[in-house]
Structure 1
């Protein structure tokens, strides 16, 4: 403990004078003519990062899209560097052609290990190869639990219960993502060792989540043990398939369960929240979606129905272009490298591709990039005159990642979202109840959300009730 106090005193005896020096410079300096943030010795661009911490995705997007090669290096405290890019060639380099050189890295893995363990979002190598807002969150939470684990938490039941697991899960997500904003690298480890503050809260929340995951695993094991060989071969949920494949390590399977919960709950609900928000401001798009839903409702199956909803699919893609569920995703270079645009990357440097910024690149999306226009994803077929979906390559539009780590649940996510849209819009209108002119705030964490959620009023459609 004496050593800790001595080292801390030494550090602060250096930092405090530097802090006053930087503040004085900030007060006397003229405005920065470029969008690049100022960087100072030891502190890097910490003050700019701190100032923009509530709008990190917007701020870094503005910087990235203002640079000639859509790439810039953010200087973090103590010499750490973060390369951010919206350059599609760089994204392809990182996620595909040089995939072997960019993994999650120790900084990312250690920061999220307490919560995600070695789940698919937080692992590399063999483990990775093997795994390969309020109402909407309640729906997504129930849905992913049923699909992945054969378990129904009943979080969307009529009484809207305060599910302890969901509350603990939400707290674990927030506190885990907060670790990345620490001024001093790994300062959270000191708090963890002392079991104080946010780390104490995180430990409690993670303990509740992991215990729940293990309870599901134990119950599923008992179910599988009670089935015959023929019955066990016909299991219909993902957890049963993992356990049946011979992976019985409880901690590892719990990591898988938690990662599936994060993927199925947060990303889908975040995407739908922004989708409904955009539709509330674009009635002509809503009318076209409603027309398509009515046309396709005679389909023989729910899958066939949503598969044919081309305009709905385009609208979802357009919504996620503007508000991607994961705004920035980071990797770490295992060795020195040079990106296609000439950016030099040293071993150990974190490199982030920026889906939020990439959806705002004018030379890719046009001068009207800020407009919500699903038609930019569509073409009219010459013969039948029907809409035909025109996809963008996954390196220009990496909302679901790309290359070997492309999202395993991409198709399931689209089916799930289209079924929700069809089910809701066929019977109801979504009317926002926010103050006129108020703009929602895009909060970037492990996943991006709308600050405070999207308050709405649900109204029955006259044609649905007649």
Structure 2
């Protein structure tokens, strides 16, 4: 299948072979110049640069953006398709708030991600988006958040995650775990429980190879690759012919949708059998509004699984790696855990008030945002605050990964992992006080009308996991000392090849 993919891609350029050969030679002669902005050629644009940097696309684009005076540049794709990339906070505020109606998900995103996300909240605009957001917002009130921490997260942590880590720590020979996989399983069980009232048992002790989870991972990865192709004609032709990666995607998405529909049908039966619900989970709220379109409700389920499974697990994976490199930060977190906990129980209020841990997570996501890039499409001509012209139909992508590395935003010490940059000390009590940053300089949770509804829920979940794990265990990366994992992104951030660790019981 990989051979078929390659043959098809090459055939699209066959008629341009002589011209491409000439440009390739020229590209090789000029690629080592001092300018980081990729060279663009007629017809094919910056195709060679895009192709050469596919594996490190996020970092490559970040380096280019940060080398420009306005923190903005335009990438020319084949056939003169243009994408504007920016790390300028003024531009981000313009897109996400000031001129919000002009910058939509748009046709490109809608069509590219339609097979997986279809009409889910992360892939639509207008009334469909507003409806889903309005119904979902009821799930994130204080009562629901307290229940989430004290029942769902706490149960998953104490009955599944902690025992798995304890067994690894107690093994005669050091047992290596893929912590990225463990955290994805943990987050998947959590989101299914709180949003759908369903327990998939993905973090059971035997770490089951769930067919759905594999299919979901494949669906996200292959859908993401569509976004990153130099031109969309490649995937559209393969999809029409049902070959290669598009055939794999079709099969994976079918498995994902079948799983999601089982959840929807089960919940619908439960609603039909009961006059009133014992608990109102997210799925129940949508079904109770009278929506009988199974496909539409399935779209909603898939979107929330993506949000709940991949973002928090990505944030925690990179957090535990950074903590292993910064023992002084780990010591401060342990000190805070000791002050906030009583008899090894960390409840809602205690978790909520863990300011230093909160700051440490914010700092971790500054370096490794779960969603490192997010694009919008201009529905009419516009001008960004830095003077960049935007034509109707152009994609404008803001780049949180680059923004987290900007000296203009964070100062000369931007490269330091420094939770204190988010904190002030109360002069009376001596306690840490969290100081929020401008949402448009730190758009890790988006900002404006589309700001993440689950932001507070995500922080509560992550802080509960950090407290529960670090209180008992030390997480030690299994890679060679000094080895740095590769940051990759399939809609959300991941460590390439997982995060192998050993677990050590912490001495009391």
RMSD: 1.6
1:329 pairs with 2:329: no
Question: Which residue in the other structure is 1:40 paired with?
Answer: 41
1:246 pairs with 2:290: yes
Question: Which residue in the other structure is 1:5 paired with?
Answer: none
1:437 pairs with 2:438: no
Aligned runs of 1:315-464 on 2, under 5 Å? 315-463=360-508
| SS at structure 2 position matched to 1:280 | helix
Question: Which residue in the other structure is 1:49 paired with?
Answer: 50
For residues 237 and 147 of structure 1, the distance between their equivalents in structure 2, rounded to whole angstroms, comes to 6
TM-score, normalised relative to structure 1? 0.95
For residues 335 and 235 of structure 1, the distance between their equivalents in structure 2, rounded to whole angstroms, comes to 44
| SS at structure 1 position matched to 2:113 | helix
1:74 pairs with 2:118: no
**Aligned residues between the structures:** 453
Question: Which residue in the other structure is 1:226 paired with?
Answer: 273
Deviation per residue, 1:271-296 (Å, 9 max, x gap): 00000000000000000001101111
For residues 132 and 21 of structure 2, the distance between their equivalents in structure 1, rounded to whole angstroms, comes to 49
**Greater CA deviation, 437-446 or 293-302?**
293-302
| SS at structure 1 position matched to 2:56 | helix
Native 8 Å contact 2:77 2:231 kept in 1? no
For residues 12 and 219 of structure 2, the distance between their equivalents in structure 1, rounded to whole angstroms, comes to 31
1:116 pairs with 2:105: no
For residues 215 and 12 of structure 2, the distance between their equivalents in structure 1, rounded to whole angstroms, comes to 36
For residues 234 and 124 of structure 2, the distance between their equivalents in structure 1, rounded to whole angstroms, comes to 22
TM-score, normalised relative to structure 2? 0.87
**Greater CA deviation, 303-312 or 177-186?**
177-186
Question: Which residue in the other structure is 2:101 paired with?
Answer: 100
Task: Structure 2: give runs of 5+ residues left out of the alignment.
Answer: 1-8, 134-179
Task: Structure 1: give runs of 5+ residues left out of the alignment.
Answer: 1-7
1:271 pairs with 2:318: no
Native 8 Å contact 1:377 1:389 kept in 2? yes
Native 8 Å contact 1:235 1:241 kept in 2? no
How far residue 14 of structure 1 moved from its aligned partner, in angstroms, is 3.9
The one of 210, 231, 244 equivalent to 1:163 is: 210
Aligned runs of 1:281-320 on 2, under 5 Å? 281-298=325-342, 302-320=347-365
Question: Which residue in the other structure is 2:59 paired with?
Answer: 58
Bigger RCO of structures 1 and 2 (CA < 8 A, at least 6 apart): 2
Change (3 A) 1:427 1:386: same
Question: Which residue in the other structure is 2:155 paired with?
Answer: none
For residues 437 and 213 of structure 1, the distance between their equivalents in structure 2, rounded to whole angstroms, comes to 42
For residues 208 and 215 of structure 1, the distance between their equivalents in structure 2, rounded to whole angstroms, comes to 11
Native 8 Å contact 1:401 1:407 kept in 2? yes
For residues 261 and 425 of structure 1, the distance between their equivalents in structure 2, rounded to whole angstroms, comes to 26
